[in-house]
Chains A and B, each alone.
Chain A
């Protein structure tokens, strides 16, 4: 690992964020234009501009497709991509494990089980039918995370990369079977097994986007608040304790925050694998490992990646539409092997 000794600290420029934001906006615009019905870029931009400015426009097919179908979907995809990538970055730092992510560790599957049970049993919160599903997904995500970490800790006190992933894989397989049982016995009430295991954004609306935005804002602020602690954990948990980080409390807060955010994402879109695994690595290549820069960069990279994955899922085999998880898993599995290989080689 010798070679250039220059670090990201020297190469980083705030312009990186400006470029990432511009790329994100362009990708969003592209995703709104493209699909089974192609809408000219100028038309799309005009409709969105008028809607944002509150101008009333005559009903048209394009306007209907853009504002009622594609825009809310694109917003949801961006927010889920950003949130999952943020969670991956935080978990990889906290656990000092480059392969940690909601999907590799089985947290997303746990959340999906919670959401599926809530739908099957018809749980709802007063004033919000969807709230019950989200809350159950959050609770199950946290429960799964605690269970996996406890099992991994019992097996290997150093919480090594290998043990966590191994337990995560077994846990995910087990949970998938339980979800299929839940789906089989309550087919009228819950969504398909495909939705829970591969994810989907069809039918997402502005109320989903609002929920995701609120969750991302709150959880994102909490994680940003703990950026220095995440750096300390990424250097080493013992080192973090020695420099004065209240290790247990900070770890618990970060794990709860990450579980809550993953839970909200899964309740909206099912399990979209590998975004949280790969995108923090891409962000690290752009801005380095310091969480002050890494967390914001992960937001952008996750959103852009998931938008492009969705675009590929909708257009590559058009008119057949693939599940978004098929695309992320195809890319993610390859990336997983590359990262795992490098980790083992370095370790």
Chain B
């Protein structure tokens, strides 16, 4: 479905992503894991054609450089980390923007499926009642749900997430990840996401790509990739021991 071959991204002369290759198939939720500065977000930026890179990304057999932005957006949607608003757009207007690439003609009409998909996206993310609310009145969690609804309205087959639940409280993290897992159940869909929280990665991911200093340390099924040795090598820490110690605090008092 999506593959990257020998991808290198440089900021100045420094390679931030270095000769990295990977592939993603339908049904997979691939977690990009690694410490800060590993190049995860830059790799996502390169996939979405936001930064210049060398190497080749292939989407369903085609070089992504040859695909127009609108065509890419009809298949691939991106949910970024932080979305702040300057103007008082309504929730519905922002979600409706997800239909941009599907609209045709001078008046942007001809998108009959669009209205239905916007309604569905609002319903799935629990925003139907807030549809007319101004974006400036929403909490951080509500704002992030609006952008999640926007990517659902975009009706992609690949969803790319760059730490979507960062800065959100547990309730919203769970709600967003559960919603995405349900979305993934439909055939032909895949998710590629950057997650800092390894517990979340383990809980929701099917596959993982572990990165350090711009290179892939390992990749494959999540249980194989997030093994004790590789994690220790990447994080310079016994992650397993840390996780167990942390979990020990979460027992009911006798």
Supposing A243-B98, A243-B101 touch, asked if A289 and B132 sit within 8 A by C-beta, the answer is no
Cα A274 to Cα B131 in complex, Å, equals 34
Closest-CB distance, A343 to chain B (whole angstroms): 8
B130 interfacial by beta-carbon distance below 8 Å: yes
B94 interfacial by beta-carbon distance below 8 Å: yes
Return the chain A residue nearest B102 by Cβ.
A244
Return the chain B residue nearest A232 by Cβ.
B97
Supposing A241-B50, A242-B73, A243-B98 touch, asked if A9 and B90 sit within 8 A by C-beta, the answer is yes
Cα A281 to Cα B94 in complex, Å, equals 20
Return the chain B residue nearest A242 by Cβ.
B78
Return the chain B residue nearest A246 by Cβ.
B69
Residues in B neighbouring A235, C-beta threshold 8 A: 83, 85, 87, 89, 94, 97
How many interface contacts (CB-CB < 8 Å) are there between A and B?
103
Query: When the two chains form their complex, are residues A234 and B100 in contact, meaning their CB atoms are under 8 A apart?
Result: no
A225 interfacial by beta-carbon distance below 8 Å: yes
Query: When the two chains form their complex, are residues B48 and A5 in contact, meaning their CB atoms are under 8 A apart?
Result: no
Query: When the two chains form their complex, are residues B86 and A96 in contact, meaning their CB atoms are under 8 A apart?
Result: yes
Closest-CB distance, B87 to chain A (whole angstroms): 4
Residues in A neighbouring B106, C-beta threshold 8 A: 225
Cα A7 to Cα B132 in complex, Å, equals 6
Query: When the two chains form their complex, are residues A246 and B133 in contact, meaning their CB atoms are under 8 A apart?
Result: no
Return the chain A residue nearest B138 by Cβ.
A5
**In the complex, chain B residues 117-161 whose Cβ is within 8 Å of any chain A Cβ:** 130, 132-134, 136-137, 147, 150, 154
Query: When the two chains form their complex, are residues B88 and A231 in contact, meaning their CB atoms are under 8 A apart?
Result: no
Query: When the two chains form their complex, are residues A6 and B97 in contact, meaning their CB atoms are under 8 A apart?
Result: no
Query: When the two chains form their complex, are residues B78 and A290 in contact, meaning their CB atoms are under 8 A apart?
Result: no
Residues in A neighbouring B97, C-beta threshold 8 A: 228, 231-232, 235, 239, 243
Residues in A neighbouring B103, C-beta threshold 8 A: 228
B180 interfacial by beta-carbon distance below 8 Å: no
Supposing A235-B97, A244-B73, A289-B88 touch, asked if A228 and B134 sit within 8 A by C-beta, the answer is no
**In the complex, chain A residues 56-103 whose Cβ is within 8 Å of any chain B Cβ:** 93, 96-98
A284 interfacial by beta-carbon distance below 8 Å: yes
Cα A240 to Cα B77 in complex, Å, equals 11
Residues in B neighbouring A247, C-beta threshold 8 A: 69
Return the chain A residue nearest B68 by Cβ.
A246
Query: When the two chains form their complex, are residues B94 and A238 in contact, meaning their CB atoms are under 8 A apart?
Result: no
Q: Which of A231, A238, A289, A347 has the most CB of B within 10 A?
A: A289
Cα A8 to Cα B87 in complex, Å, equals 11
**Residue-wise interface mask of A (334-347) relative to B, using a CB-CB cutoff of 8 A (1 in contact, 0 not):** 00000000010011
Residues in B neighbouring A290, C-beta threshold 8 A: 89, 93
Query: When the two chains form their complex, are residues A232 and B88 in contact, meaning their CB atoms are under 8 A apart?
Result: no
A42 interfacial by beta-carbon distance below 8 Å: no
Cα A235 to Cα B136 in complex, Å, equals 12
**In the complex, chain B residues 94-116 whose Cβ is within 8 Å of any chain A Cβ:** 94, 97-98, 100-101, 103, 106, 108
Return the chain B residue nearest A224 by Cβ.
B106
**In the complex, chain B residues 31-81 whose Cβ is within 8 Å of any chain A Cβ:** 48-50, 68-74, 77-78, 80
Interchain residue pairs with CB less than 8 A apart (6) = A231-B97, A234-B86, A235-B89, A243-B97, A244-B71, A288-B90
- If A238-B80, A290-B93 are given as contacts, then 13 extra A-B residue pairs at C-beta distance below 8 Å, sorted by A number, are A7-B133, A8-B90, A231-B89, A239-B80, A242-B78, A243-B97, A243-B101, A243-B150, A244-B70, A244-B74, A288-B88, A288-B90, A346-B86
Could you list which residues of chain B lie within 8 angstroms of chain A, going by C-beta atoms?
Answer: 48-50, 68-74, 77-78, 80, 83-90, 92-94, 97-98, 100-101, 103, 106, 108, 130, 132-134, 136-137, 147, 150, 154
Could you list which residues of chain A lie within 8 angstroms of chain B, going by C-beta atoms?
Answer: 1-10, 93, 96-98, 225, 228, 231-232, 234-236, 238-239, 241-247, 284, 288-290, 343, 346-347
